[in-house]
Chains A and B, each alone.
Chain A
């Protein structure tokens, strides 16, 4: 066990997977010599050679397309899209090809592929470095979609994703790379090295896909969150004094419906928080599921706190980012009903 940042944990997961299985290959823009602009793959090229960790041309469609070919050959590619905002050129390859290969070939060909990408805002990245496009992927049959919120889960989930026989979209909340962030941008950020969730097991212990974690137990309301919003939700619960149960979904597809339903049936209230724009966001899916499964237990309408339906603005970032203030308001409101 060692305390480390999410970046280091992701690097460790790569390292463990590459050491255990020489079919694992890692590539993407700036991923090789430099180790990625966020340094998540630093040192891997030196350790495993240029055929297993290398720089790719700037062509996301090409990166995903070649990775699909490699996966079909029998390798296990783990590829990096430099920012989630740049995945769109590869969208066709992911949606029409990777997601469907197993189904359409009757498993003649499969696609064990991990597509990693930094996601989310709070770093003054403007509209092309801040997006949270997870809903574009959860809507696609054949994909798994994962988003860890801490180093421990990042390593375990990435190892699970690499071991998975199907394509996994692996979102990394970049605001959490170096330390937990609860939305109080005017306060200094502590490092993961000072946080219990920065404690990462050695070796290749996985965190299974499809299992949520209860980050804070509570009795009055269930907050469904993932990525950076887990910490925002915890802060909001703390600050309002509402006894909220905060569930970190970790994996959006497959989704741990059981944990969600058990919690909402217990508390009778639900608030959903995500950074992505609201309309047709993943929150809409969560709301439907809660409605379908917990209707007779609900004591108040389910509320969503999300990014607005606008592109992510550079200067008004903190008005866009669903911070503890907005989440706190929602908690209070849901308690009034």
Chain B
């Protein structure tokens, strides 16, 4: 040991906004809307390295859409986008309430993150496959998956397409490009790369999108996904949803105090972009760019969606125990619904009145779906899946020992 070295100490990163503290996002650099140029879809990842440190933004604070990434959506598409986000938000609020009323065991909402999945969904095509986490129900909603079916799943009732086997919100729909959700974090990320590789092996035209939270990027599967995506130039879009928190743990624990999540793609030679996740137009534009890149054989893109989880982690979580109650309101990228609404008003395509009316219509739609689902049953009342179902589908053909166990169980 040399005498000029003092004792070592462990670095444990800490967020600046524990309960009781004033939220402070002054270190968070937000580029102006329109400041980041849109490169061609075949851009060499080496030449766009700075995109992993900036943030693609389209909507400015006045609600105008500016810069290279603007203009990809028609007015109808924007109206539809707003409706999808409102639907998701209303759906969440109703289901959260249903959980509180004991109609289901568990729920996870998207509050503040609606633009990410709703806008991304629009960039994908039928036949493409998402490998989502539990926070991308917008992928289903924006693809017109029936709300009643989603609720049947949440209530684990007799019409639940998954027969009550899965935790609420862990949907699955091949037809809607939505891979079956696992409760084990990160596993789907590398699977999405495998699906994309299979498409390439088969000479197909379809692409995949992987999804992961900021906290879960620490999982080894995240890194495995990057290795395979880069080695095989897989036609995949790898999405990191950085909503700042992993339950009580802030994003700095997965990232350390350095770099960005997007910059993790650099070591793999993967095109890496950060986008304003609360800007519907920006998310869509970047998603479209990345999907086109994948589809044209230019390989994987890593997208970090910078957003904020405004609600609790799940219905089992009380965020006020670990972060300032005022943090959500201080979040500098605003509310995705409000921002799109403001844009539509700014271009003369919307008004406060129409918005109120739309909110009321959406509420009616969700309420009607809820009524329909609850008429079938909830976790605690009404028609439930048969316990026989629990023995089905473990294997394609039920082996003798399971038949015996089913009989033993009395079904």
Report which A residues bind B (CB closer than 8 A): 29-30, 32-34, 37, 50-51, 54-62, 85-86, 88-89, 124-129, 278-279, 308-311, 313-316, 319-320
CB distance from B67 to the nearest CB of A (A): 35
Q: Which residues 212-226 of B sit at the A interface, judged by CB distance below 8 A?
A: 215-216, 218-221
Contacts of A58 in B (CB 8 A): 185-186, 215-216, 218-219, 246, 249, 254
CB distance from A305 to the nearest CB of B (A): 10
Q: Report yes or no: B391 in contact with A308, Cβ–Cβ below 8 A.
A: yes
Q: Report yes or no: B253 in contact with A314, Cβ–Cβ below 8 A.
A: no
Q: Report yes or no: B10 in contact with A50, Cβ–Cβ below 8 A.
A: yes
The reply to whether the CB of B389 lies closer than 8 angstroms to some CB of chain A is yes
Cα distance, A49 to B140, chains bound together (Å):
45
Q: Report yes or no: A51 in contact with B12, Cβ–Cβ below 8 A.
A: yes
Cα distance, A194 to B170, chains bound together (Å):
38
The reply to whether the CB of B35 lies closer than 8 angstroms to some CB of chain A is no
Interface band, chain B: 35 or more
Cα distance, A319 to B386, chains bound together (Å):
10
Cα distance, A127 to B219, chains bound together (Å):
20
Contacts of A89 in B (CB 8 A): 184, 186, 219-221
Q: Mark B9-42, 1 if CB is under 8 A from A, else 0.
A: 1101010001000000000000000000000000
Q: Report yes or no: A126 in contact with B184, Cβ–Cβ below 8 A.
A: no
Cα distance, A62 to B218, chains bound together (Å):
9
Contacts of B317 in A (CB 8 A): 37
Q: Mark B147-167, 1 if CB is under 8 A from A, else 0.
A: 000000000100010011111
Contacts of A33 in B (CB 8 A): 14, 18, 248-249, 322
Q: Mark B192-227, 1 if CB is under 8 A from A, else 0.
A: 000000000000000000000001101111000000
Contacts of B321 in A (CB 8 A): 34
Q: Report yes or no: B385 in contact with A316, Cβ–Cβ below 8 A.
A: yes
Cα distance, A51 to B14, chains bound together (Å):
12
Contacts of A30 in B (CB 8 A): 246-249
Cα distance, A289 to B135, chains bound together (Å):
47
Given contacts A126-B165, A126-B170, A310-B391, 19 further A-B pairs with CB under 8 A are A29-B247, A33-B248, A34-B249, A50-B12, A51-B10, A57-B218, A58-B219, A62-B220, A124-B379, A125-B167, A126-B183, A127-B166, A128-B167, A129-B183, A279-B401, A308-B402, A309-B394, A310-B402, A315-B163
Contacts of A55 in B (CB 8 A): 12, 248-249, 253
Contacts of A320 in B (CB 8 A): 390
List the A residue with the shortest CB-CB distance to B160.
A315
CB distance from A194 to the nearest CB of B (A): 25
The reply to whether the CB of B53 lies closer than 8 angstroms to some CB of chain A is no
Cα distance, A34 to B387, chains bound together (Å):
38
Q: Known contacts A85-B184, A126-B170; is A313 also within 8 Å of B105 by CB?
A: no
Q: Known contacts A127-B165, A314-B156; is A59 also within 8 Å of B409 by CB?
A: no
30 contacts between A and B (CB under 8 A): A29-B247, A30-B246, A33-B248, A34-B249, A37-B248, A37-B316, A50-B10, A50-B14, A51-B9, A54-B12, A55-B12, A58-B219, A59-B218, A61-B220, A85-B184, A86-B184, A124-B105, A124-B106, A128-B183, A308-B402, A308-B406, A309-B405, A310-B390, A311-B394, A313-B165, A313-B390, A314-B164, A316-B389, A316-B390, A320-B390
Q: Report yes or no: B253 in contact with A56, Cβ–Cβ below 8 A.
A: yes
Q: Report yes or no: A319 in contact with B409, Cβ–Cβ below 8 A.
A: yes
Contacts of A126 in B (CB 8 A): 106, 165-167, 170, 183
Contacts of A29 in B (CB 8 A): 246-247, 249
**Majority DSSP secondary structure for residues of A touching B:** loop
- From A33, A62, A279, name the one whose CB has the most chain B CB atoms within 10 angstroms: A33
The reply to whether the CB of B244 lies closer than 8 angstroms to some CB of chain A is no
Contacts of B9 in A (CB 8 A): 51
Q: Known contacts A50-B12, A309-B394; is A314 also within 8 Å of B184 by CB?
A: no
Q: Which residues 307-329 of B sit at the A interface, judged by CB distance below 8 A?
A: 316-317, 321-322
Cα distance, A311 to B394, chains bound together (Å):
8
List the A residue with the shortest CB-CB distance to B410.
A319
The reply to whether the CB of B173 lies closer than 8 angstroms to some CB of chain A is no
Q: Which residues 88-146 of B sit at the A interface, judged by CB distance below 8 A?
A: 105-106
Cα distance, A278 to B401, chains bound together (Å):
10
CB distance from A43 to the nearest CB of B (A): 13
Q: Which residues 388-411 of B sit at the A interface, judged by CB distance below 8 A?
A: 389-391, 394, 401-402, 405-406, 409, 411
CB distance from A200 to the nearest CB of B (A): 25
Cα distance, A93 to B239, chains bound together (Å):
28
Q: Known contacts A33-B248, A54-B12, A58-B185; is A308 also within 8 Å of B220 by CB?
A: no
Q: Known contacts A34-B322, A50-B12, A126-B170; is A315 also within 8 Å of B249 by CB?
A: no
List the A residue with the shortest CB-CB distance to B168.
A314
The reply to whether the CB of B58 lies closer than 8 angstroms to some CB of chain A is no
- From A58, A85, A125, name the one whose CB has the most chain B CB atoms within 10 angstroms: A58
CB distance from A69 to the nearest CB of B (A): 13
Contacts of A313 in B (CB 8 A): 164-165, 389-390
The reply to whether the CB of B182 lies closer than 8 angstroms to some CB of chain A is yes
Cα distance, A58 to B217, chains bound together (Å):
8
Contacts of A125 in B (CB 8 A): 167
Cα distance, A309 to B322, chains bound together (Å):
39
Contacts of A50 in B (CB 8 A): 10, 12, 14
Contacts of B387 in A (CB 8 A): 316, 319
Q: Report yes or no: A129 in contact with B253, Cβ–Cβ below 8 A.
A: no
CB distance from A272 to the nearest CB of B (A): 15
The reply to whether the CB of B303 lies closer than 8 angstroms to some CB of chain A is no
Cα distance, A86 to B105, chains bound together (Å):
20
Cα distance, A124 to B321, chains bound together (Å):
24
